[in-house]
Every structure is written in structure tokens, then in C-alpha cells.
């Protein structure tokens, strides 16, 4: 019985500690990059609309690979790209046509769920990244929450408090096992 409790205790401690590390990574990474978190050279972007459903569901997180200047001009029909639509908005849509005009390459794009192509062509200089064929459904809601001030505080402090509380509980349990008379003595004194 004690061995089972000890194994469960170790598993709970490991889960709480890993949770704390993941939360710290997500929050610090998103704050350091000024937006979406990054991992292993990929940026994680949250899907905010249904324009690419069923390829990406709203609230999913997708991994995109930032592109250099040469790669931006060598994209093909069928590639899914993230591009700067204006100063404040990034869009991720599929390339349905490539137009070359001298040195300039422009892409015709469309969301998979949209009835028509996007109104404006995308200049290759505005392409930020290419979809890396990696999607995690619905976790984008969580990442958006983690990027808010309240979310950052809760996700950093919450697991830390749980870990400290559990550590305190483990210490008290260990002290009781070391000297079982202490617990019985306290009970006798209180009842007297």
C-alpha cells in the first residue's frame, strides 16, 4: 500500500512540475516573441476564423516555418502560407495561383472554406511563413488566454502554488511516518 502511495505521489509531483515548466515556456515564449510562442524554429499561430475549415478548425494551433527571401518567391499552388494582410493582421490561406511580373511574384490565395478567392493578390514580400503540416485542435483558445495578463498570472502562479502545496503535504506525511507518536500525542492532548 505504501509503495503504491509513493508511486502515485511521485507521478503527481512529476505532472505538476511538468505542467509548471510547460506554462513557463508558453508564457515566456509568447512574451519574448511579442506574440505567438515559438518552438524548434517554428512559430505557433492560433486560427481565429473558420476560413480554412476543415483543414484547420477555429481555435486550433498551427505550426508555420518562417521563410527567407528566396523561399518566399518559390512557393507553389497548393502551399498554405501566412501573410501580412495589413499592419495588424496575419492571414493563413492556400495559394491557388502564382503570378509573375518581372522580378515580382504575387500569389492568389483563398481560404478552403471560402466561396471566392481573396480580393487582393499577395506580394511575395508580404509572405511571413509556410504551414508546416502540424495542427493541434482547440488549444489556441488556451494560448490566447495565456497571452493575456490575467492568463499569464494564473498559469504561472497556479501550478507553482499547487506544487508548493503538494510539497508541504508530502513533508507533513513524511514527518508523521518518521515519528508516528507525534500525531497520537497531539490527539491525546487535544482530547484532554
Active site residue ranges: 49
| SS3 letters across 115-162 | CCCCCCCEEHHHEEEEEEEEEECCHHHHHHHHHCHHHHHHHHHHHHHH
Task: For residue 111, report the phi and psi dihedrals to the nearest 5 degrees.
Answer: -75, 140
Of 80, 56, 87, 88, which is closest to residue 129 (Cα–Cα)? Answer: 80
Neighbour count for residue 64 (Cβ, 10 Å): 21
Based on its alpha-carbon atoms, the radius of gyration of the chain, rounded to whole angstroms, reads 26
* Cell digits of residue 169: 503535504
Q: What angle do CA 90, 94, 99 make, to 5 degrees?
A: 95
* Sign of the dihedral through C-alpha 73, 78, 81, 85: positive
Task: For residue 36, report the phi and psi dihedrals to the nearest 5 degrees.
Answer: -75, 145
* Cell digits of residue 38: 515559438
Amino acid at each position: 500500500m505504501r509503495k503504491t502511495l509513493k508511486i502515485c505521489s511521485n507521478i503527481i509531483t512529476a505532472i505538476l512540475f511538468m505542467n509548471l515548466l510547460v506554462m513557463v515556456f508558453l508564457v515566456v515564449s509568447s512574451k519574448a516573441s511579442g506574440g505567438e510562442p515559438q518552438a524548434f524554429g517554428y512559430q505557433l499561430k492560433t486560427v481565429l476564423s473558420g476560413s480554412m475549415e476543415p483543414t484547420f478548425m477555429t481555435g486550433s494551433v498551427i505550426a508555420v516555418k518562417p521563410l527567407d527571401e528566396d523561399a518566399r518567391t518559390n512557393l507553389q499552388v497548393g502551399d498554405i502560407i501566412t501573410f501580412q494582410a495589413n499592419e495588424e493582421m496575419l492571414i493563413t490561406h492556400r495559394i491557388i495561383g502564382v503570378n509573375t511580373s518581372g522580378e515580382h511574384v504575387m500569389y492568389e490565395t483563398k481560404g478552403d472554406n471560402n466561396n471566392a478567392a481573396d480580393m487582393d493578390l499577395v506580394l511575395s514580400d508580404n509572405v511571413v511563413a509556410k504551414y508546416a503540416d502540424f495542427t493541434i485542435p482547440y488549444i489556441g483558445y488556451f494560448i490566447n488566454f495565456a497571452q493575456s495578463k490575467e492568463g499569464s498570472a494564473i498559469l504561472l502562479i497556479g501550478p507553482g502554488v499547487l506544487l508548493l502545496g503538494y510539497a508541504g503535504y508530502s513533508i507533513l506525511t513524511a514527518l508523521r511516518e518518521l515519528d508516528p507518536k507525534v500525531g497520537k500525542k497531539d490527539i491525546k492532548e487535544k482530547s484532554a
